[in-house]
C-alpha cells in the first residue's frame, strides 16, 4: 500500500512538472520574422508625392563613388572582413533588422511611448509637476507620452521617414549603384537579394530620420536610440546589403529631411498645448456660461486637464479651419433626459461587468504605461503589413497615411473635447465604478473611438480585403469604453464618425500620392 | 500588490491566492506540523479580511489617494484527509472579493485558485528531550475561474499554475514547539487580455513570464491536544521580476517581496468531539511592490472520522 502511494506521488509529481519543464522565455509576435523580401521594389517611388518636402531633390545627395574604384573595393572588403567571423550576436542583429527598417523603428517608437506614458505624481501641495523637455531625465521624466503626444510622435516619425525615403528612392534610381552583392559575387549576402539600387541605403535613411525625430520627441532616451541606430547600420554592412558609403549617404539624407519636420514640430503649437491656469479656468467658465455642467478631473488630487490646447496643433492633412469644421455637433445637454439615460446605461454596464466585457475593455484600454491607441493601431497595421511584403518605401507611406490620420484625429478630438468640456459618467453619478482608469480629460468625443475610426478607414483603404475586420475592431474598441463605464454611447458613436471623416483625408491623400495600392 | 495570505485552517489553508502566501497562520495547513490520523477527514470554512493603505512602489513606501484603502475579503473551504498518519492530502478553494475605498476603479470578486497538497512525514523520532519530525510537502494550485489577473492591485489572483515544493522540520519539547519550513514555488507563465505590455521593455505578446518564488516560515508556540497558540514570522521573495515604476500601476510579474509576522490560535471545543475554531492575524513588516497589509482571520472546522477511527489530529507528536 505504502509503495503504491509513493508511486502515485511520483507519477503525480511528474504530471504536474511537465507544464513547468520548458523554458519560461516569452517570445514577442515579431521576434522571429522572416527577412523582408518586397513583392515589388517600388523603384519609381522617387516620384511619389511628399508631405513636407517641396520635392525629392530638396536635400541633394552627392553622386556615389563608382563601383570600380579602389575606395569602393575597400568598402566591399570591409564587408568581407566583418563577415569572416560572425558572432551569434551579430547574426541575431542581422535577423532582427532584416525584418524591415520601418517596422523596427516603429516598434522602437512604440516602446518609447509605452515607457513614457506615465502621469506625473503630485507635488506636496497637491499641484502637479510638468515634464521639462530641457531636463528630460529629472522627475517627472520628459515626455509624458499620453495619447495626443503619442499620436503626434507617430505622425511626425512616420511622415519624416516617408519623405526621406521618397527622396532616397529618387536618388537610387538616378545614380543606380547596385548592391555590393550584385557588384561582387563573392560577397556573402545574408538577406534576400534585391535589384533595387543600394545607394543611398533605405535602411540608413529610416534610421537617420528616426534618430533625428526622436532627439526632439524623446530627448532623454538617446543612449538607447543611438545604440539601436549603431546596431542597425552595422547589421546592414554585416549582412552584405550595403557598403559604408550607402549607409553614410542614407543616414545624412534621413537626418536632413527630418530636420525639416523638427522645425515644423517646433512651430506646430504642441509645445503650448498644456495651457495655463487662466486657460483651464476659462474653459470651465465658458462651459458653465453656456448653461452646462463643466468637466472636473476625477483624479485625486484633481489634475489639470490633459493637453487642453492640443486642438489647435497644426494638422498634416488639413488646415486649421478644416480642423474646426470637422468638430461634431454638441453632445446631449448635461441636464437632459437623454444624458440621464446614458449615465444610467453606464451604471448598468459597470454593475453587469461580465468577463467578456473585461476582455474587451482591457484589450483596448491602452492606458497608462502602454503605447496608447494610435500605437495599438500601428501594431495591428504592422502585423498585417508584414504579411504583404511591402517595400520599405511603401511600408513608410502606409504608416505615414495611418499616423498622420491618427495625429489629426487627436487634434479634432481634443478640439471637440475642450470645446464642449463635457463631464464623464462617473462625475454625473459617483456610483459608477469603472473597469479601467478614467482618462483625465472631458468625455465628448471618445478618443479611442476617434483614433479607431480613423485607423480602420485608412487601413481599409490600404488592405481592402481586411476592411470588415478593421471596422469590427474599431467598433469593439469604441464599445470597450462604454462597457468600461468611462464614456457615454453618444461619445463613442460621434467619435467613430469623426475618426472616419479624418481618415478619409488620408485616404484621399493616398489615392493621389502616386503610390497606388 | 496583494495582501499576504492570512491562511489558516484547522485543516488546510491555502491562499496561494493572495499573492505570496508567506503566512500560514494556524494549525493543520500545508505549512504546519499537524497531521490528520488515518481515515479522518477534517473540513471547514474560513474567512479572512486583509487591507492596506500604504504600499511599496519598488522600495519606496507611499499611499495612493486614488485607491484609498484596498481591502480583500476571502471565504474559503478547506479539507485535510489522512491517508495515513504519515501522509495527508489537503485541498482548499477560496472565494475572494477586492475593493478600493477611494478612486473610481471597480472591485473584483470570484472563486480563485484550487490548491491540492500532499503532506508526507517520513521521520518522527525522540531527539534530546523533545520530538523531531520532518516533512516533505508538495502542492499544486491553479485558477478554476477565468478571473482577470492584469488588474493589479484589485485582481483577485495571478492566474499562474503554481507547483510548491516545501521541506519542513518541527521540534516539540513538552507543550512548546518550533516549526521551520522553506519553499520553492515554480510558477507557470500567464496570459493576459492585452496583447502588448511594458515591463522594463516592450513585450508584443499576451504571455507574461512569471518569476518563481522562494519562501520561509517560522512558527513557535504552545501546542497541546486542546489548543495551539503560536507566533509566526515569514518571508517571501520573487526570484526575478521588476519594480513598479514611479506612479505606475502594479503588474503580475513585479518583484513582490514581503516580511510578515503574525499570531495564530486554535481551540478544540470540549463539548463537541472533533469541532475546533481558529483565529489569527498578521502584519506586513516590510515589503517591495506589495501592500503593507494587516490581516485577520477566523474559521471553524470539524473532523469526520471514517471507519470508526477516533476523531483526532496528531497535534502532539506521539512519544516513541
Q: What is the DSSP string of A251-316?
A: HHHHHHHHHHHHHHHHTSSGGGTT--HHHHHHHHHHHHHTT-PPP---SSS--PPSSTTGGGSPPS
pLDDT at res. B34: 87
Report how far residue B69's alpha carbon sits from residue B54's, in angstroms, rounded to the nearest whole number.
Answer: 8
Closest residue in B to A366 (Cα–Cα): B194
pLDDT at res. A10: 55
CB contact under 8 A, A350 and B188: no
Nearest beta carbon to residue B163 from set A2, A17, A298: A17
- pLDDT, tens digit, 9 for 90 and up, residues A1-18: 455 555 555 555 555 555
Tell me which of B68, B106, B203 to substitute to probe the interface with A (most A C-beta atoms closer than 10 Å): B106
Q: Which of chain B's residues have a Cβ under 8 Å away from the Cβ of A13?
A: 138
CB contact under 8 A, B188 and A358: no
pLDDT at res. B29: 74
- pLDDT, tens digit, 9 for 90 and up, residues A235-290: 999 999 999 999 999 999 999 999 999 999 999 999 999 999 999 999 999 999 99
In the block, residue with C-alpha cell 476625477 = A298
- pLDDT, tens digit, 9 for 90 and up, residues A32-45: 999 999 999 999 99
CB contact under 8 A, B189 and A26: yes
Q: Is residue B257 helix, strand or coil?
A: strand
Nearest beta carbon to residue A362 from set B194, B205, B208: B194
Q: Is residue B306 helix, strand or coil?
A: coil
CB contact under 8 A, A24 and B249: no
Residues 6+ apart with CB under 8 A from A397: A45, A48, A162, A165, A510, A513, A515
Rounded to a whole number, what is the distance in Å from the CA of A13 to chain B's nearest CA?
Answer: 8
Asked if residue B119 lies in contact with residue B35, where contact means CB atoms within 8 angstroms, the answer is yes
Pure H helices in A194-243: 202-217, 222-238
Q: Which of chain B's residues have a Cβ under 8 Å away from the Cβ of A432?
A: 104
Q: What is the DSSP string of A380-418?
A: HHHHHHHHHT--HHHHHHHHHHHHHHHHHHHHHHHHHHH
Residue whose C-alpha is closest to residue A421's, from A273, A325, A314, A290 = A290
CB contact under 8 A, A370 and B209: no
Tell me which of A24, A109, A360 to substitute to probe the interface with B (most B C-beta atoms closer than 10 Å): A24
Asked if residue A481 lies in contact with residue A487, where contact means CB atoms within 8 angstroms, the answer is yes
Say if residue B220 is preceded by a cis peptide, omega within 30 of 0.
no
As a whole number, mean pLDDT of residues A206-214 equals 98
Q: What is the ipTM of this complex?
A: 0.95
- C-alpha cell read off for A451: 483614433
Tell me which of A14, A15, A20, A25 to substitute to probe the interface with B (most B C-beta atoms closer than 10 Å): A20
Rounded to a whole number, what is the distance in Å from the CA of A483 to chain B's nearest CA?
Answer: 12
Report how far residue B4's alpha carbon sits from residue B259's, in angstroms, rounded to the nearest whole number.
Answer: 9
Closest residue in B to A432 (Cα–Cα): B104
CB contact under 8 A, B198 and A379: no
pLDDT grade for A413, boundaries at 50, 70 and 90? very high
Residue A29 clears pLDDT 50, i.e. is over it? yes
Cα–Cα separations (whole angstroms), residue A418 to A119, A335, A413, A515 = 19, 19, 9, 37
- pLDDT, tens digit, 9 for 90 and up, residues A438-468: 999 999 999 999 999 999 999 999 999 999 9
Number of H helices, E strands in chain A: 19, 0
Nearest beta carbon to residue B198 from set A114, A432, A435: A114
Rounded to an integer, what is the distance from CA A358 to the centroid of its chain? 24
Tell me which of A369, A427, A476 to substitute to probe the interface with B (most B C-beta atoms closer than 10 Å): A369
pLDDT at res. A452: 98
Phi, psi of B280 (to 5 degrees): 180, 180
Orientation of helix A244-266 relative to helix A147-175, angle to 10°: 140
Rounded to an integer, what is the distance from CA A369 to the centroid of its chain? 14
CB contact under 8 A, A301 and B103: no
pLDDT in tens, chain B (320 residues): 333 222 222 333 333 333 334 334 343 578 888 899 999 999 999 999 999 999 999 999 999 999 999 999 999 999 999 999 999 999 999 999 999 999 999 999 999 999 999 999 999 999 999 999 999 999 999 999 999 999 999 999 999 999 999 999 999 999 999 999 999 999 999 999 999 999 999 999 999 999 999 999 999 999 999 999 999 999 999 999 999 999 999 999 999 999 999 999 999 999 999 999 999 999 999 999 999 999 999 999 999 988 655 666 665 554 33
Rounded to a whole number, what is the distance in Å from the CA of B213 to chain A's nearest CA?
Answer: 14
- pLDDT, tens digit, 9 for 90 and up, residues A154-206: 999 999 999 999 999 999 999 999 999 999 999 999 999 999 999 999 999 99
Residue whose C-alpha is closest to residue A32's, from B205, B190, B210 = B205
Amino acid at each position: 500500500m505504502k509503495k503504491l502511494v509513493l508511486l502515485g506521488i511520483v507519477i503525480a509529481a511528474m504530471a504536474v512538472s511537465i507544464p513547468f519543464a520548458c523554458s519560461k522565455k516569452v517570445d514577442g509576435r515579431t521576434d522571429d520574422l522572416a527577412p523582408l523580401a518586397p513583392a515589388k521594389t517600388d523603384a519609381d517611388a522617387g516620384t511619389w508625392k511628399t508631405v513636407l518636402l517641396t520635392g525629392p531633390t530638396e536635400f541633394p545627395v552627392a553622386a556615389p563613388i563608382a563601383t570600380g574604384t579602389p575606395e569602393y573595393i575597400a568598402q566591399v572588403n570591409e564587408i568581407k572582413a566583418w563577415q569572416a567571423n560572425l558572432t551569434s550576436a551579430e547574426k541575431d542583429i542581422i535577423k532582427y533588422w532584416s525584418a524591415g527598417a520601418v517596422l523596427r523603428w516603429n516598434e522602437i517608437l512604440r516602446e518609447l511611448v509605452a515607457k513614457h506614458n506615465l502621469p506625473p505624481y503630485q507635488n506636496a501641495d497637491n499641484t502637479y509637476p510638468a515634464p521639462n523637455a530641457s531636463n528630460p531625465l529629472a522627475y517627472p521624466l520628459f515626455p509624458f507620452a499620453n495619447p495626443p503626444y503619442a499620436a503626434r510622435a507617430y505622425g511626425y516619425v512616420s511622415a519624416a521617414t516617408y519623405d526621406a525615403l521618397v527622396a532616397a528612392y529618387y536618388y537610387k534610381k538616378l545614380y543606380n549603384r547596385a548592391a555590393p552583392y550584385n557588384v561582387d559575387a563573392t560577397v556573402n549576402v545574408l538577406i534576400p537579394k534585391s535589384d533595387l539600387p543600394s545607394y543611398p541605403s533605405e535602411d540608413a535613411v529610416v534610421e537617420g530620420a528616426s534618430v533625428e525625430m526622436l532627439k526632439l520627441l524623446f530627448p532623454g532616451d538617446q543612449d538607447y536610440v543611438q545604440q539601436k541606430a549603431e546596431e542597425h547600420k552595422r547589421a546592414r554592412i554585416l549582412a552584405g546589403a550595403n557598403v559604408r558609403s550607402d549607409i553614410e549617404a542614407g543616414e545624412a539624407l534621413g537626418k536632413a529631411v527630418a530636420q525639416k519636420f523638427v522645425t515644423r514640430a517646433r512651430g506646430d503649437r504642441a509645445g503650448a498645448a498644456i495651457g495655463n491656469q487662466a486657460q483651464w479656468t476659462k474653459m470651465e467658465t465658458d462651459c458653465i456660461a453656456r448653461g452646462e455642467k463643466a468637466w472636473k478631473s476625477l483624479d485625486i488630487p484633481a489634475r489639470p486637464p490633459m493637453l487642453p490646447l492640443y486642438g489647435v496643433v497644426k494638422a498634416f492633412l488639413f488646415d486649421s479651419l478644416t480642423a474646426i469644421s470637422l468638430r461634431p455637433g454638441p453632445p446631449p445637454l448635461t441636464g437632459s433626459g437623454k444624458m440621464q439615460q446614458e449615465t444610467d446605461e453606464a451604471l448598468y454596464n459597470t454593475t453587469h461587468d461580465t468577463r467578456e466585457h473585461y476582455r474587451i475593455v482591457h484589450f483596448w484600454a491602452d492606458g497608462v504605461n502602454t503605447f496608447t491607441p494610435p500605437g495599438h493601431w500601428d501594431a495591428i497595421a504592422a502585423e498585417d503589413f508584414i504579411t504583404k511584403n511591402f517595400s520599405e518605401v511603401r511600408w513608410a507611406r502606409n504608416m505615414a497615411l495611418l499616423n498622420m490620420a491618427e495625429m489629426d484625429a487627436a487634434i479634432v478630438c481634443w478640439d471637440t473635447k475642450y470645446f464642449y468640456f463635457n463631464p464623464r459618467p462617473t462625475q454625473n453619478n459617483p456610483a459608477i465604478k469603472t473597469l479601467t482608469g478614467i482618462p483625465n480629460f472631458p468625455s465628448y468625443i471618445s478618443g479611442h473611438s476617434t483614433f479607431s475610426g480613423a485607423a480602420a478607414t485608412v487601413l481599409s483603404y490600404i488592405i481592402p480585403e481586411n476592411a470588415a475586420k478593421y471596422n469590427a475592431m474599431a467598433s469593439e474598441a469604441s464599445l470597450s469604453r462604454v462597457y468600461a463605464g468611462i464614456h457615454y454611447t453618444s461619445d463613442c458613436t460621434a467619435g467613430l464618425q469623426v475618426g472616419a471623416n479624418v481618415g478619409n483625408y488620408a485616404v484621399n491623400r493616398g489615392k493621389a500620392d502616386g503610390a497606388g495600392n | 500588490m496583494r495582501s499576504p495570505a492570512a491562511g489558516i485552517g484547522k485543516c488546510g489553508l491555502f491562499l496561494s491566492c493572495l499573492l505570496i502566501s508567506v503566512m500560514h497562520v494556524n494549525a493543520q495547513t500545508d505549512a504546519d506540523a499537524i497531521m490528520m490520523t488515518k481515515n479522518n477527514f477534517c473540513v471547514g470554512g474560513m474567512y479572512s479580511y486583509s487591507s492596506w493603505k500604504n504600499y511599496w512602489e519598488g522600495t519606496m513606501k507611499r499611499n495612493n489617494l486614488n485607491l484609498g484603502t484596498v481591502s480583500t475579503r476571502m471565504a474559503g473551504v478547506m479539507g485535510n484527509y489522512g491517508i495515513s498518519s504519515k501522509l495527508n492530502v489537503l485541498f482548499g478553494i477560496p472565494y475572494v472579493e477586492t475593493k478600493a475605498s477611494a478612486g473610481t476603479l471597480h472591485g473584483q470578486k470570484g472563486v480563485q485558485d484550487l490548491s491540492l497538497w500532499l503532506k508526507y512525514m517520513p521521520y518522527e523520532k525522540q531527539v534530546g528531550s523533545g520530538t523531531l519530525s520532518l516533512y516533505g510537502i508538495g502542492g499544486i494550485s491553479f485558477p478554476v475561474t477565468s478571473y482577470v489577473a492584469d488588474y493589479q492591485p484589485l485582481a483577485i489572483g495571478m492566474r499562474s499554475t503554481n507547483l510548491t515544493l516545501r521541506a519542513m522540520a518541527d521540534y516539540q519539547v513538552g507543550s512548546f514547539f518550533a516549526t521551520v519550513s522553506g519553499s520553492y514555488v515554480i510558477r507557470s507563465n500567464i496570459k493576459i487580455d492585452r496583447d502588448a505590455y511594458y515591463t522594463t521593455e516592450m513585450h508584443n505578446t499576451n504571455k507574461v513570464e512569471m518569476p518563481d518564488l522562494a519562501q520561509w516560515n517560522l512558527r513557535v508556540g504552545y501546542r497541546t491536544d486542546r489548543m495551539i497558540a503560536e507566533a509566526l514570522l515569514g518571508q517571501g521573495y520573487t526570484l526575478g521580476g521588476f519594480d513598479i515604476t514611479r506612479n505606475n500601476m502594479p503588474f503580475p510579474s513585479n518583484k513582490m517581496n514581503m516580511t510578515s509576522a503574525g499570531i495564530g490560535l486554535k481551540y478544540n471545543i470540549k463539548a463537541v468531539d472533533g469541532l475546533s475554531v481558529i483565529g489569527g492575524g498578521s502584519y506586513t513588516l516590510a515589503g517591495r511592490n506589495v501592500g503593507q497589509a494587516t490581516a485577520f482571520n477566523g474559521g471553524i472546522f470539524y473532523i469526520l472520522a471514517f471507519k470508526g477511527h477516533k476523531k483526532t489530529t496528531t497535534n502532539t507528536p506521539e512519544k516513541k
